[in-house]
A and B are shown apart, each in its own frame.
Chain A
Amino acid sequence: MTNEQIKATIIKEILTVAPEIQKEEIQPNANIQRSLEIDSFDFLKILTALHKELGVEVPEADYAKVDTLDHMVNYFSQRL
């Protein structure tokens, strides 16, 4: 899977959990939770959906490594 494909998958899952968000609002280097008003429940839902899609489970200890879209892409690409 290319980084572009991983990115597209992450964006798709964010938009599924929070349909009110416009795709353009998702900035690569902005904190996902703060910039998009994603609460801890939504964030867990996104990670659960990504686990199903990509087969990679993010432990709570690694949450700091998946705080932005770019960081998330890196995290998943290293583990796929």
Chain B
Amino acid sequence: MSEFKMPSLGADMESAVLMEWRIKEGDTVTKGQVIAEVETSKGVIEIEVFEDGTVEKILVQEETECAVGTPLALIRSKSEEPEELPEKEFISSKIESSISQPKTDTPMQEPEQAAIKPTREEELPVQEESSSETRVKVSPAARKKAQEMGIDLSVLASRSEGAIQLKNLETSVAAKEKAPLLSGMRQAIAKAMSRSNTEIPHYYLSIPINMTPALTWLGELNAKRSIDKRILPAALLIRAVVRALEEVPELNGYWQNYNHLLSKSINPGIAIALRKGGLITPALLNTQEMSLDQTMQALDDLITRTRANKLRSSEMTQQTITITNLGDLGVERVYGVIYPPQVAIIGLGRITDSPWAENDALSVRKVMQATLAGDHRATDGRTGALFLDTLNQILQKPEELL
């Protein structure tokens, strides 16, 4: 029997509201199936189960606020043995949310959970009380307002009697007037980036890439297609990065407990800016299996769901590298900050008309600066240079990216 716990869906998440169960007791579930919806500071996220099995018991009712790690349901796995193996217990005490998840599968689940836990305990003294036992009663208006203001309702609940109303929030805000409140998302970014800059010795590399062949090829391809089948340069670039990562796999993985782990799946986190402010980097999962058209469709789908608050838990936790494309804003080079436990972030700048010397002649070409920030504990500059050179070579033969 294993406990299905409230997973951590990013460095900021301390608790979330279980909004809806998609299963009932006695149901058979399969690994990857969406079994619940939870509401976090990043919106509503669909939560997937990590194993095949049967739902033995539902422990938490809908609309309950639960701290990360709170057992939500009991799942009996298919090959359940009467006695738990000692080794399994050891793993389960280490991993917060993904009990009896096979070690070989998605190693990225672990480091994030493990790494975030200490801060969470520090900052959430009422974690025990605010777990599944106590339902935090909040008026819908207050919940909405609290989310906007980044107020932790479970903390507030411990100080309030009865349901939390808007006036409680206003008192809470008045008390903290001098310290401006950060949104949950801002706090998330702050924590992850502080940790990155403290722990990760970054190295930075950049290379100018002649994008004229790729853009000309893409323009000709799109001219033959109807508008709804067009491919955007962003999709072509992601496809090229994935191909380059297949050649240089050292950058696709994690740094965990002084181990450099490579991931077979290439799940780039795509930096997507939200118009109201903030940034999310959900994973484009298993891009190594996608053609160019499939990459475009998947990217379109991911961006649409990110902006509509419809992301899945796997997309929030399984990034193996990050790609950030600030070219839309006109910057030429992006020197990224690695999102731990990943070991690299790729920056793609604006494509500009630039002088380009080739074969003893000077001409104007569409040029993009590609940058790489690498974790020097995991790889050396040579690996990063090899990656950027490979990316450049691949983009000179765009027809091979179909």
Contact = CB atoms under 8 A, between A and B. Distances in A.
Interface string A40-51: 110010011001
A20 B275 contact: yes
What 5 A-B pairs have minimum CB-CB distances, sorted nearest first?
A: A20-B275, A57-B227, A37-B275, A51-B227, A48-B227
Interface stretch (B181-189, B218-226, B250-258, B337-345): B218-226
Interface of A: 18, 20-21, 33, 37, 39-41, 44, 47-48, 51, 57-61
Contacts of B228: 48, 51
A48 B228 CA distance: 6
Contact of A21 (B227, B275, B328): B275
Given A20-B276, A40-B328, A48-B227, 10 more contacts: A21-B275, A33-B328, A37-B275, A39-B328, A41-B300, A44-B232, A51-B227, A60-B222, A61-B219, A61-B223
B234 interface: yes
B57 interface: no
Interface size class, chain B: 10 to 19
B195 interface: no
Contacts of A61: 219, 223
B273 interface: yes
B303 interface: yes
Contacts, number: 36
Given A39-B328, A60-B222, A60-B223, A44 B275 contact: no
Contacts of A39: 273, 328
Given A21-B275, A40-B328, A41-B300, A57 B226 contact: yes
B376 interface: no
Contacts of B275: 18, 20-21, 37
Interface in B309-343: 328
B232 A59 contact: no
Interface in B209-231: 219, 222-223, 226-228, 230
